[in-house]
Structure 1
Amino acid sequence: MNYCMEDLALGLSAEYRKTITETDVVLFAGISGDNNPMHIDEEYAVKTRFEGRIAHGMLSASLISTVIGTRLPGAGAIYMGQNLKFLKPVKIGDTVTALVTVLELFQEKQRVRLMTECWVRGEKVIDGDALVWVPRRPQ
């Protein structure tokens, strides 16, 4: 669904859910250039405190962008800023739910502040907030 500024209300929320695959991690490493062995080398990663590879934090965070650009607010929304706190690792095979909730509306500037979270098995793995510009309803 696409929302215009006039359609938004405090507490309105939307989500997107995706299971992180081996292919996702390899492609993200290739696109981003982040070849940290924590993400791509099981032999290295198994010796760390995570006891195995973890997905890139920004891969999981990118699911927040999916919600903002396609569901809430949706088409035409423009990211202006994002704060993120990575709380727990995401592993290959985990299903991540990105949840976005309207926190504050700035009607005169066509902006909205959104709570942005990612969850895995009922545990919050990313916490944050975003500022987004939202188009008005066409006249």
Structure 2
Amino acid sequence: MLGFAEISRDYNPVHFDERFARSRGFSARINHGLLVGSMLTEIGGQIGWLATHMSFDFKKPVYLNQTVTCVLEITLVDEKRRAEAEAVFTDSGDTVVMTARLSGFLPAEAQKGVMRKMLAEGDPTNRSVSPRG
């Protein structure tokens, strides 16, 4: 979390100080909302999605050490590969903590071909398919 704060420069005390978090009505410190939302970048990266818009609705706080799952559903793809999607983020108790809507472009066949070659070559950037050794 400190690494995310250093990159984003978001040092809101709700993320770092128990007293402050409780004074805001939380039971403990909470994660940065966009840190949780950034799970979309991992999913998008795996499929070569080029995002043009993202919007988030923060429903419940995500506390430190909570497990969050993100399910992305592509809801529309047009003839130019423009796509829209919806994402639902849930905690380990299946409580929705965040939702998101996004739009962007899916890769064309040329980009898919490059991605297939990258994977065949042992692409070290795609950790879910080809872990670094």
Match of 1:110 in 2: 81
Deviation (angstroms), 1:46: 2.8
Residue of structure 1 in register with 2:131 after alignment: none
What's the counterpart of residue 6 of structure 2?
Answer: 30
Report the 3-state secondary structure (helix = DSSP H, G, I; strand = E; otherwise coil) of the residue aligned with 2:61: coil
TM-score between the two structures when normalised by the length of structure 1: 0.74
Q: Is the 8 A contact 1:99 1:118 kept in 2?
A: yes
Is residue 2:60 matched to residue 1:84?
Answer: no
Distance 1:84 1:63 in 2: 12
**Correspondence 1:47 to 2:23:** yes
Partner residue in 1 for 2:34: 58
- The CA distance in 2 between the partners of 1:41 and 1:111, in whole Å, is 42
Secondary structure in structure 2 of the residue aligned to 1:58: helix
Secondary structure, aligned partner of 1:65? helix
Q: Which runs of 4+ in 1 moved over 3 A?
A: none
Normalising by the residue count of structure 2, what TM-score does the alignment of the two structures yield?
0.77
Distance 1:95 1:135 in 2: 30
CA contact (8 A) 1:64 1:117 kept: no
User: Larger RCO: Structure 1 or Structure 2 (Cα < 8 Å, ≥ 6 residues apart)?
Assistant: 1
| Number of the residue aligned with 1:101 | 73
1:129 corresponds in structure 2 to 101
Alignment size in residue pairs? 110
Does the 8 Å CA contact 1:68/1:100 hold for their aligned counterparts? no
Taking only the aligned residue pairs, the percentage that are identical comes to: 27
Task: Compute the displacement of 1:59 (Å).
Answer: 0.4
Paired AA for residue 122 in structure 1: D
The structure richer in strand per residue is 1
Whether the aligned pair in 2 keeps the contact of 1:67 and 1:99 (CA below 8 Å) is no
Q: What is the CA distance between 1:51 and its match in structure 2?
A: 2.0
Rounded Cα–Cα distance in structure 2 between residues aligned with 1:135 and 1:111: 9
